[in-house]
């Protein structure tokens, strides 16, 4: 069995697991800030990432995946491609924003796989990556449709009329 395929699959699995963890973290944060609609949206995104991770794990079953250290991963972004930057979130974000955040993550995931499909020297990796890029393209299309049906927030969506102070 190819070590390049195993390494590629280790990256794919890590990307999906890290994305699910980030979505769970964001859902927890939204719950703390009493933003239940967005918390639920992020919980759904975590679920979808875990389902995709299970699909990757099934593909990886015949391989002995390497146990990579964090610095051994080779991403095309600072973090795994589908792990969006926390700086792109806000405690008052709306479901529209959560979907846009997820859409950008899926696009980066699709690009990661497309880059591997185009440039990896091993044909098995290129073929697998092309298949995964196509799957990510389906996820992108689904999110684009979901966003199209979701109301856009008002321009003043982030204005908080409550003072951010704690009083005894």
For 45-83, write each residue's pLDDT tens digit. 899 999 999 999 999 999 999 999 888 888 878 888 888
pLDDT tens column, 6-23: 999 999 999 999 999 999
Looking at CATH, the fold of the domain delimited by 3-148 is given as Ferritin (1.20.1260)
Q: CA angle at residue 111 from 105 to 112, to 5 degrees?
A: 90
Confidence at residue 166, expressed as pLDDT on a 0 to 100 scale: 53
- Give the C-alpha separation, 52 to 18, whole Å: 12
Both tokens assigned to 94: 């709306």
Percent of the chain with pLDDT over 90: 64
What integer pLDDT is reported at residue 44 of this predicted model?
Answer: 92
Please list, in sequence order, all residues whose beta carbon lies within 8 angstroms of the beta carbon of residue 53, skipping any fewer than 6 positions away.
Answer: 13, 16, 17, 20
Q: Is 168 helix (H, G, I), strand (E, B) or coil?
A: coil
pLDDT of 15 reads 93
Instruction: Give me 15's structure tokens.
Output: 């990307």
- Domain extents in the chain: 3-148
Tell me what percent of the residues of the chain surpass a pLDDT of 70.
95
Q: What is the pLDDT of residue 2?
A: 81
Tokens (6 digits) for 124? 């098995």
77-98 burial, b for 16+ CB within 10 Å, e for fewer?
A: bebbbbbbeeeebeebbbbbbb
Q: Cα(48)–Cα(135) distance, rounded to whole angstroms?
A: 12
């Amino acid at each position: 069995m190819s070590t390049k395929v195993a390494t590629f699959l280790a990256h794919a699995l890590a990307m999906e697991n890290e994305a699910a963890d980030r979505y769970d973290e964001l859902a927890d944060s939204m719950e703390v800030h009493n933003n239940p609609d967005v918390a639920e949206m992020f919980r759904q995104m975590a679920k979808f990432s875990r389902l995709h991770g299970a699909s990757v794990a099934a593909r990886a079953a015949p391989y002995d995946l390497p146990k990579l250290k964090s610095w051994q991963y080779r991403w095309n972004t600072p973090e795994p491609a589908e792990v969006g930057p926390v700086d792109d979130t806000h405690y008052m974000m709306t479901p529209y924003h959560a979907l846009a955040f997820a859409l950008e993550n899926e696009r980066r995931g699709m690009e990661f796989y497309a880059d591997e499909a185009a440039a990896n020297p091993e044909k098995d990796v290129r073929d697998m990556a092309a298949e995964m890029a196509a799957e990510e393209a389906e996820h992108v299309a689904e999110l684009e449709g979901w966003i199209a049906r979701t109301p856009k927030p008002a321009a003043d969506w982030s204005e908080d009329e409550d003072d951010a102070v704690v009083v005894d």
